[in-house]
Structure 1
Amino acid sequence: MSTRDRSQGSSSDRAYRWTKDRILDGRFEGGRLISEGEVADEIQLSRTPVREAFLRLSAEGLLRLYPKRGALVVPVSASEAEDIAEARIFLERHAAAKVIASGHAAEVASAMREVLEKQHALSYPEQAPEFTALDRDFHATLVNAAGNALFDEFYSSLRDRQLRMVHTALRHDNPDRPRIILEEHSRICDLLAAGEAEALHSLIAEHITSVRKQLPTV
């Protein structure tokens, strides 16, 4: 590979990451039309690597390309949000039951509280991307503790959609939602440590469903 090819690839990756980050954290909201020129000017690149980045994001279903007009940020659809919520509830309930049965619930709850403490230390909305990333890490800690490699892989595949859903919900929800999320996370830790499976299963479903309900209908 020539130096020029490597440079082009690096520029394309940079444009891809920059644009994708803004789609996932809601700075580029669903329904917004963005252009190659807009992104190129922002990150001081030519349009060619930006065009390549747009093609990658289109293949991932995050952008819909319109020649000579730009790219539409594809909104999170109601059916997609429903599917993701259903998958998460199933996986997290299963993980909770397995962790409680293993006798290591207190240890896992302690690990989740460590993530929660980091989330508490953040200022929202100034640190919204970090808050949402830790939200995802909090739930992933529970799923990973169940010790099922296939479930871990599937849950990881939901990462981008999960981050985008939470960001979108927070932007359209009431200002108290971050506080409510933190309180519910704390209750999840308490119920897990106490081994109260039935109450924990109900709270997990309520917690995940509440985020889905705040998404705009598309």
Structure 2
Amino acid sequence: MSAAVAPAKIAKPVKTTKPAKQPPAAERVYSHIKQAVLDRRYEGGTLLTEGDLAEAVGVSRTPVREALLRLEVEGLIRLYPKKGALVLAVSAQEIADVVETRLLVEQHAARKAVPAGPGLIARLEELLEEQKAQAAAGDLAALSVSDRCFHAEIVRDAGNEILSRLYDQLRDRQLRMGVAVMHSHPDRIAKNITEHTEILEALRAGDADAAAAAVHQHVSWVKHLARGDAR
């Protein structure tokens, strides 16, 4: 009697993962420059050339020109024909305008966020812990993002979509100013975390007046920077 022959196994097709499609070249250049400006790798007063940027990102000069035109419209750079692009410093007027807008939006949002739900309180606690870890690591770019997120969560929780969209338009200016302030005033890092804690405690206690007052004290400190440029 012959031995039984095991049935042949049918090989399953191997799924291949397609490589992630890269964003268009102009978008890559735009993201590279913008992030470098926001976290101060390209500081105010830096002159950027098309050739250097093309080499840094690995593209031709054409997408570099497209990206620079877009960034000029956003007010981050100024183009000079045949010379390059100058990274604009944060101006005194810009600081004053951002502070004024933030106070209008954030104090109103802090009042509306009371009584704060457990979801908002938990998220603010999480962001505070992130800020402490980032401060200890000296990661000012990440700290600026967490700082801004802390305030944005309160604005979103207030439930006014129009105000939330308005506040989102301040994002890039807030991030850039946040890093600039922490570089020039390192003592503010610990103070910011303390003041965030005060805002959180007022929200936790359900005290709308105290929450608005804590926001006012925290945001208004930047006003004195409007006396000169924050580079």
What TM-score does the superposition give when structure 1 sets the normalisation length? 0.87
1:40 alignment partner in structure 2:
54
**Inter-partner Cα distance in structure 2 for 1:96 and 1:106:** 15
Count of residues in correspondence between the two structures: 209
- Tell me by how many angstroms 1:211 deviates: 3.3
For 2:137 and 2:179, locate their aligned partners in 1 and report how far apart those are by CA, in whole Å: 10
Which residue of 2 is the match for residue 142 of structure 1?
154
Does residue 154 in structure 1 map to residue 166 in structure 2? yes
Q: Tell me if structure 1 keeps the 8 A contact 2:111–2:211.
A: no
Partners of 1:68 and 1:115 in 2: CA distance? 45
- The residue correspondences of 1:36-185 to structure 2 (distance < 5 A) are 36-100=50-114, 103-104=115-116, 107-123=119-135, 126-173=138-185, 175-185=186-196
- Cross-structure match for 1:204: 215
User: Structure 1, residues 133-172: CA drift from partner, whole Å, max 9, x if none?
Assistant: 1111100010000000101111111111111111111121
Residues 125 and 60 (structure 1 numbering): CA distance in 2 closer, same or farther, change over 3 Å? farther
Unaligned runs of 5+ in 1: 1-5
Max Rg structure: 2
CA distance, structure 2, for counterparts of residue 132 and residue 77 of structure 1: 19
- Structure 2 distance, partners of 1:46, 1:215, is 39
**Contact 2:49–2:83 (8 Å) recurs in 1:** yes
Q: Give the Cα–Cα distance (whole angstroms) in 1 for the partners of residues 81 and 63 of structure 2.
A: 16
Q: Distance in 2 between matches of 1:26 and 1:75?
A: 10
Is the CA contact (8 Å cut-off) linking 1:124 and 1:178 kept in structure 2? no
Q: Which moved more, 1:180-189 or 1:111-120?
A: 111-120
SS of residue paired to 1:64 = strand
Identify, as 1 or 2, the structure richer in helix.
Answer: 1
Q: Deviations over 1:28-67 (max 9, x none)?
A: 1122211112212222222221111111101111110001
Query: Contact conserved, 2:92 with 2:228, CA < 8 A, in 1?
Result: yes
Distance in 1, matches of 2:148 and 2:169, equals 12
One-letter code aligned to 1:114: E
- Unpaired runs of 5+ residues, structure 2, are 1-20
Q: Which amino acid aligns with 2:51?
A: G
Range 124-133 or range 137-146, more displaced? 124-133
RMSD of aligned alpha carbons? 2.1
Shift of 1:71: 0.7
| 1:188 lines up with 2:210 in the alignment | no
Counterpart code for 2:38: L
CA contact (8 A) 2:76 2:88 kept: yes
Tell me the percent identity: 40
Deviation at 1:215, TM superposition (A): 6.5
For the 8 Å contact 1:109–1:193, the answer to whether it is kept is yes
Q: Under a length normalisation based on structure 2, what TM-score does the superposition of the two structures give?
A: 0.83
